[in-house]
Amino acid sequence: MNGSRVLVLNGPNLGRLGSREPDVYGATSYAGLVERCTALGRELGLAVEVRETNDEGEMIRWLHEAADGRLPVVLNPGAFTHYSYGMRDAAAQRTAPLIEVHISNPHARESFRHTSVVAAVASGTIAGFGIDSYLLALRSLAEGARGGGQG
């Protein structure tokens, strides 16, 4: 996957990292998340592009772009996780690995957060490791490209 493009897609409110509930989401800002993901991507030989949207339609268009381009995705759907069947159906069209990530552990939070409509169509889910959830996902994509499988 040397030089391969990877999309890191973030749903609603993730652009407010660092100021939004730091006791839940940590003190790293969204800019810090972007820097950590792109820096690790460079180290792993991945061209990482990080995006954030509060718009469900835009997220669906990005997932279509990834499917059409056979691009691996690290997806933090935010609140879309729990109810966006349109986003889930777009994610199901994936043509490359898609790893669902969450900063917090949804199962340790409110009961409505326990359901993910994305999990069943994702290659895997990484949750509860703070910003490191993204880094673990990127490492998994890089390992999969070196023959560890991911699909």
Any known ligand binding at 99?
no
Task: Print burial letters for 53-90: b (CB count within 10 Å at least 16), e (below 16).
Answer: bbebeebbebbeebbeeebbbbbbbbebbbebeebbeb
Is the Cβ–Cβ distance between 44 and 138 less than 8 Å? yes
Q: Tell me if residue 25 is catalytic.
A: yes
| 76 annotated to a ligand binding site | yes
Indicate if 102 belongs to the active site: yes
* Residue 89 labeled ligand binder: yes
5 is known to lie in a ligand binding site: no
Q: Which two tokens stand for residue 7?
A: 């999309």
- What size, in residues, is the chain? 151
- Identified catalytic residue from 102, 107, 114, 134: 102
Who's near 137: CB < 8 A, 6+ residues apart?
A: 74, 99, 101, 126
Residue 107 annotated in ligand binding: no
Q: Tell me if 113 is assigned to a ligand binding site.
A: yes
Which residues are the active-site residues? 25, 102
| Binding-site sequence positions for substrate | 76, 82, 89, 103-104, 113
| Binding-site sequence positions | 76, 82, 89, 103-104, 113
